[in-house]
Amino acid sequence: MCGIVGYIGNKQVLPILIQGLRRLEYRGYDSAGVAILDNSKQTAVNRVRSVGKIDNLADKVKTEKMEGTVGIAHTRWATHGGVTEENAHPHFGCDEKLVIAHNGIIENYRELKEVLEKDHTFTSQTDTEILAHLIETHYKGDLRMAVETALSHVRGTYGLVVLHADHPGTIIAARLGSPLVIGIGEDEHFVASDATPMLAYTKKVVFLDDGEIAEIHKDGFVTYDLKDKIITKHVEEIEWDDEQAQKQGYDHFMLKEIFDQPTVFEDAIRGRYDIDEGTAHLGGLNMNDEEMRRVNRIVLIACGTASYAAMVGKYAFERLAGIPTEVDVASEFRYRDPIIDSNTLVFAISQSGETLDTLAAVREAKRKGAFVRGIVNVVGSTIARETDGGTYIHAGPELAVASTKAYTNMVAIMVLYAIQFGRLKRITLATGQRLINALLEIPEKMNLVFEQNENIKKLAEKYKNYRDFLFLGRGINYPVALEGSLKLKEISYIHSEAYPGGEMKHGPIALLSKDFPVFAIMVKDQLYDKMRSNIEEIRARKAPIILVATQGDERAKELAEDIIYVPDTMELLEPLLNTIPLQLFAYHVAVMLGRDVDRPRNLAKSVTVE
Ligand code: M6R
């Protein structure tokens, strides 16, 4: 849940570290710090830390003399100890020669601290500082060995980087449960929690695996396992460029990412469908037709927005392939002794590929003998690597904490999978072709939804001061309502709930009044009339109504004056369009309320704690 960046080379390291932290700020942003080996006195480490966003740290370092070409930095999302400068990373050992930045949780930190406290002085409440002192205890001149020995006493998770003033040409990096990537440049090397801090300098990267420790120098690196055996690593080329990771003229990453959707949707489906056969080919499934036919149950595990995408996927799998499909929130799945057999196919769905709950659920499912496939955005992420195959959703870097384009592409991939299974099991060539043609029209139709942006902005202005919202949808638009409600609450901090339209009369209707607006999705599909009746019930209670309705539905005007029109599409694909107005509404409300849209309070992009 924190971000780490390190550099060793010939350049002045401070701007690289600060810039790198800005790229990683989505991982946590309650405090930050840098530690740099002092070039003038090779035996000293200069450290500056500050509470708050990276901007605060950037201001603070301006007044410090921090020159050097080797350094590490960290942006924190607090787990142990409050948000204070003392608890911000990097942390020193006692003699201030050894410094460490860490992401993860040391579970046995209390036991370790009790022992260490006899000879070491602690200055923070963090679990990380224990690591600094533990490594210091084991340091006998060989830094990697000291880290390795210290880690053998640790229970928990870590991605960590260590510097020592006596080893100015070395950064040690180790990983267990929290991601670390090494970037390979010309006479320089990088290490970070993901590849974004290094993209401006190199696209050549190596992903550390759990239980690996790397000794990094400016001209190379060596990776070991924790038993000291050298591991040969595969160098990969990152496709994202630095510019892709920027805002490209939009005020916020979230807005850019909403508008990215038509393009990245095309990236998701390109080369993965076969119009002649009316089917899809997602090679990453690693199953032959016979194995696919044997699948008699699908379980989709995910968290947050990814779980709402999964709920759409359930409709697609059941309707097209006739395979009973369950959606399980990952944090529940792992603890409820799930029933899995060899004919159950499990998909783990995750933007970051690092969500701890989802990862733990993957491990649990594999332990029970399931085939687990990933539907993941971040290439080389832990879930991508730990699953038995799967498909990248190709949404590109998603930096806003609120997920938008990843959701769309997750849905796209699940629909493609459902078509692929469906063609083997029950849908006709014509149905397959109709679906693929409808998918191909989606980017253009998304652009039509964007034409509603000004209208949505006006609605945001009108509704921004309400304190509560109810989102309603039926059938495949129920997950859309859930997603719209999540978007609004997470970035605007306005309370909202989502219900299936038919459930309203079983309780939530009691909430309705002129002060409780309802955002309802009432598009022309098989549940249109049912949804209309629900809206009539709301009108009778005088609650303000915002409708998402199908272009050309004049009757919608009898029910509400505030309408966002969306193009018609096949029912299974409706969420790909209908979610967008809800994303834009949440965005505009949050901007108008002066919220930090890209980095809402209390949240982090990558949730790597339980
Ligand atoms: O990276 P993942 O897709 O696994 O993340 C899952 C959730 O943490 C994530 O979708 C979260 O709910 C977002 N803040 C939603 O906008």
DSSP codes joined into one string, 278-343: TEE--GGG---HHHHHH--EEEEEE-HHHHHHHHHHHHHIIIII---EEEEEHHHHTTS-----TT
Is the CB of residue 381 below 6 angstroms from any atom belonging to ligand 1? no
At residue 48, the pLDDT reads 97
Whether residues 413 and 304 share a domain: the answer is yes
What are the phi and psi torsion angles at 345 (to 5°)? -105, 125
Q: In this structure, which residue's CA is closest to atom 8 in ligand 1?
A: 304
Q: In this structure, which residue's CA is closest to atom 4 in ligand 1?
A: 350
Tally helices (H) and strands (E) across the chain: 18, 27
Name the one residue in this structure whose structure tokens are 């060596």. 222
Q: How far is the CA of 585 from the centre of ligand 1 (A)?
A: 19
Whether residues 392 and 408 share a domain: the answer is yes
What are the phi and psi torsion angles at 491 (to 5°)? -105, -20
Whether residues 517 and 424 share a domain: the answer is no
Whether residues 391 and 467 share a domain: the answer is no
Is the CB of residue 306 below 6 angstroms from any atom belonging to ligand 1? yes
Sign, Cα dihedral of 584, 197, 34, 607: positive
C-alpha span between 295 and 61 (Å, rounded): 58
At residue 287, the pLDDT reads 92
Q: How far is the CA of 474 from the centre of ligand 1 (A)?
A: 23
Is the CB of residue 358 below 6 angstroms from any atom belonging to ligand 1? yes
Closest CA to 282 of 272, 291, 292: 272
Q: Which amino acid is at 83?
A: V
Q: In this structure, which residue's CA is closest to atom 16 in ligand 1?
A: 402
Chain length of the chain = 610
The domain of 570 spans: 453-592
Q: How far is the CA of 395 from the centre of ligand 1 (A)?
A: 14
* Residue 197: other Cβ atoms inside 10 A: 29
Residue 559 lies in a domain: yes
Q: How far is the CA of 331 from the centre of ligand 1 (A)?
A: 13
Which of 448, 467, 486 terminates a domain? The answer is: 448
Q: Are 370 and 344 in contact (CB under 8 A)?
A: yes
CA distances in angstroms from 70 to 11, 78, 164, 216, listed in the order given: 9, 26, 10, 11
Whether residues 507 and 403 share a domain: the answer is no
What are the phi and psi torsion angles at 340 (to 5°)? -135, 140
Whether residues 90 and 206 share a domain: the answer is yes
C-alpha span between 449 and 182 (Å, rounded): 41
Across the chain, which has 610 residues, the per-10-residue mean pLDDT values are 92 96 81 90 86 92 90 87 90 95 88 94 93 96 96 93 96 94 97 92 94 97 94 89 72 95 92 94 89 95 98 98 96 87 94 94 92 89 90 89 97 98 96 98 98 98 97 97 98 97 91 95 94 92 96 95 97 98 98 96 80
Residue 548 lies in a domain: yes
Is the CB of residue 351 below 6 angstroms from any atom belonging to ligand 1? yes
Whether residues 419 and 468 share a domain: the answer is no
Which residues are 586's β-sheet partners? none
**b/e string for 134-160 if b means 16 or more Cβ within 10 A?**
bbbbbbeeebbbbbbbbbebbebbbbb
Q: Which amino acid is at 153?
A: H
At residue 30, the pLDDT reads 80
Which of 431, 448, 465 terminates a domain? The answer is: 448
The total of structural domains in the chain comes to 3
Whether residues 169 and 226 share a domain: the answer is yes
Given the residues 97, 256, 405, 605, select the one marked as catalytic: 605
At residue 523, the pLDDT reads 97
What are the phi and psi torsion angles at 532 (to 5°)? -55, -45
Residue 209: which CATH number?
3.60.20.10
At residue 605, the pLDDT reads 80
CA distances in angstroms from 298 to 315, 322, 345, 346, 417, listed in the order given: 12, 10, 5, 6, 11
C-alpha span between 294 and 425 (Å, rounded): 10
Whether residues 396 and 499 share a domain: the answer is no
Q: Is 406 left (phi over 0), alpha (psi -120 to 50) or beta?
A: alpha
Residue 440: which CATH number?
3.40.50.10490
Residue 280 lies in a domain: yes
pTM: 0.78
Q: Are 545 and 514 in contact (CB under 8 A)?
A: no
Helices (H), 123-163: 128-138, 143-151
Residue 264 lies in a domain: yes
Is the CB of residue 303 below 6 angstroms from any atom belonging to ligand 1? yes
Whether residues 469 and 554 share a domain: the answer is yes
At residue 245, the pLDDT reads 65
Residue 603 lies in a domain: no
Is 303 an annotated catalytic residue?
Answer: no
DSSP one-letter code for 509:
G
Whether residues 434 and 458 share a domain: the answer is no
Is the CB of residue 350 below 6 angstroms from any atom belonging to ligand 1? yes
Residue 282 lies in a domain: yes
Residue 26 lies in a domain: yes
Q: How far is the CA of 189 from the centre of ligand 1 (A)?
A: 30
Give the tokens for residue 418. Answer: 């459902």
Q: Are 116 and 144 in contact (CB under 8 A)?
A: no
Given the residues 2, 97, 256, 303, select the one marked as catalytic: 2
Which of 197, 212, 245 terminates a domain? The answer is: 245
Q: In this structure, which residue's CA is closest to atom 11 in ligand 1?
A: 304
Contacts of 396 (CB under 8 A, 6+ apart): 240, 244, 260, 264, 267, 405
Whether residues 355 and 283 share a domain: the answer is yes
Ligand 1 closest atom vs CA 352? 1
**b/e string for 544-570 if b means 16 or more Cβ within 10 A?**
bbbbbbbeebeebeebbebbbbbbbbb
At residue 244, the pLDDT reads 66
Q: How far is the CA of 337 from the centre of ligand 1 (A)?
A: 24
Is the CB of residue 583 below 6 angstroms from any atom belonging to ligand 1? no
Residue 341 lies in a domain: yes
